[in-house]
Amino acid sequence: MRGRLHLRRYDSRSTCRTSLFEKVRRTVPAANRFSNDLATLRSIAADVLRHAAAQGASSAEVDVSEGFGQAVTVRHGEVETIEYNRDKGVGVTVYVGQQRGHASTSDLSPKALEDAVRAALTIARYTAADECAGLADEQLLAKQVPDLDLYHPWDVSVERAIDIARECEAVALAVDPRIANSEGASVHTQESQFVYANSLGFNAGYPGSRHSISCSVIAGKGDDMQRDDWYTISRVPDTLDDGRSVGEKAGRRCVARLGSRKIPTTQVPVLFEAPIAASLLGHFAGAVSGGSLYRKSSFLLDKLGEPVFSRNVVIRDLAHVPRGLASSPFDDEGVATRDRSVVTDGVLQGYFLGSYSARKLKMQSTGNAGGNHNLVLESTGESFETLLAKLGTGLLVTDLLGHGINMVTGDYSRGAAGFWVENGVIAYPVQEITVAGNLADMFQDIVAVGTDVIARGARQCGSVLIGRMTVAGD
């Protein structure tokens, strides 16, 4: 599936620098960024479906994709890695009645495609029938595919990427003389395209892009050493934070954690900083996703139409945000997507369902095969400073460690670091503590959601203030 040029701890002063960098650039010709155009991918998908029908499949679906990317990492000013990847592949799922088989290949030749279909059919014939298996309902398939502006190439040369990473790291190290070490700065760019098709006549796809700049540094010495990082990510290179800004934030966040201490075990309000608060949205999405629900492994089982959050909470799943990191005109099964409210005034309005889980639950697909789209917890209007004032005396969490979450019961316990806040003002950094509670209670106890939204992925929100949690320390 993957071809990669990978240079580790490469000395950028080497005399072979130019020839190697030119080799990387020549691998991605600017005039023809992908090996195939979308029309060719659609044709390949149609060929696979014809093979499936000819070999006896009652229905079939296929995904054809390709992509390429470049990543550069600099550490202490020296090039540590240069990575290049180019991927392509076909995945085909066939049905013989309600028996299902799947196979994949990275070889797009006609014979390889036929062989993949044959392998999938062999698997299907040995698989038990499942009454919920099958393609999405035809009436739910997308009839139109709106352009959501998801593809923005970044023509950044390897040399330029190295310069950005070097500047990013240099700015971070220069923030404070106590920043003594670096885990590196990276610049990454990725472009891809895909087509999904099925035997109900659906055949569509689109290209997408994703780019990022990141930096991580270490401050202090002896027993008082701290690390922190920062990164920016976007589909559009022009909307990325510049490397200097990323480096400065990484450096300042790292230094702010020096002198961290433990605190006594207590129960206090807890403010989850925006990048960390998005993980709470992730737990919610997992709890109301079809797989968790039909397996009865969710603490929000049978809560549809009931209040599961405090009354000030509104959560929307936005599939059609232009340039959105998780936007899509249709889901992984070709079902049309739409913007919808999943929580209104604290009340759960909907689940995240693909066709299989919907049939298991005797419901209808919500266009979420593959997961949520841009899941947004709407702000209640307070700035970060106002949230600190509302917090009063308590804990600001800026980092979480471990995975102590039981999705069946909702029990929540994670290692944490952050800052102790007194009378609405940050007093000192803290570490080696645990924040604990139950997600069902935490959701009901959300006091406010900040305006300080940072869009870094499929879940977006500002900082989240929870009325009371147990903080375990000394």
134 and 265 housed in the same domain: no
275 and 419 housed in the same domain: yes
390 and 267 housed in the same domain: yes
pLDDT on residue 99: 97
Residues 44-88 have pLDDT tens digits of 999 999 999 999 999 999 999 999 999 999 999 999 999 999 999
237 and 276 housed in the same domain: no
**Of 255, 277, 295, at which residue does a domain stop?**
255
pLDDT band at 324 (very low <50, low <70, confident <90, very high): very high
359 and 470 housed in the same domain: yes
| pLDDT for 327 beyond 50 | yes
| pLDDT for 149 beyond 60 | yes
Query: What's the CA gap between 164 and 155, in Å, rounded?
Result: 13
pLDDT on residue 32: 65
220 and 295 housed in the same domain: no
313 and 417 housed in the same domain: yes
| Mean pLDDT value across residues 336-343 | 97
Residues 374-408 have pLDDT tens digits of 999 999 999 999 999 999 999 999 999 988 899 99
Residue 26 maps to which CATH number? 3.30.2290.10
Quick one: tokens of 195?
Answer: 């087509």
Which stretches within 62-195 are classed as H helix?
110-125, 158-174
pLDDT on residue 33: 87
Comparing 363 with 402, which gets the higher pLDDT?
A: 363
Those residues whose C-beta lies under 8 Å from the C-beta of residue 222, and which sit 6 or more positions away, are none
Comparing 216 with 224, which gets the higher pLDDT?
A: 216
Quick one: tokens of 128?
Answer: 């038990």
| pLDDT for 41 beyond 80 | yes
Beta bridge partners of 392: none
pLDDT band at 185 (very low <50, low <70, confident <90, very high): very high
For 141-164, b where at least 16 C-beta lie within 10 A, e where not — what string?
A: bbeeeeebebbbebebebeebbbb
What is the number of domains present in the chain? 2
Query: Model-level pTM?
Result: 0.90
| Mean pLDDT value across residues 415-434 | 96
Those residues whose C-beta lies under 8 Å from the C-beta of residue 452, and which sit 6 or more positions away, are 274, 383, 384, 462, 463
| pLDDT for 28 beyond 70 | no
Q: What is the DSSP letter of 332?
A: T
Query: What's the CA gap between 232 and 90, in Å, rounded?
Result: 31
| pLDDT for 19 beyond 90 | no
| pLDDT for 250 beyond 60 | yes
- Under 8 Å between Cβ of 186 and 213: yes
| pLDDT for 23 beyond 80 | no
pLDDT band at 274 (very low <50, low <70, confident <90, very high): very high
- Under 8 Å between Cβ of 335 and 111: no
Candidates 189, 197, 91; CA nearest to 141 is 197
**Of 223, 255, 287, at which residue does a domain stop?**
255
| pLDDT for 105 beyond 80 | yes
The answer to which of 48-57, 90-99, 215-224, 227-236 has the lowest mean pLDDT is: 215-224
Q: Which domain holds residue 445?
A: 260-474
pLDDT on residue 20: 35
Work out the mean pLDDT of the chain and round it to a whole number: 92
Residue length of the chain = 474
| Mean pLDDT value across residues 244-258 | 97
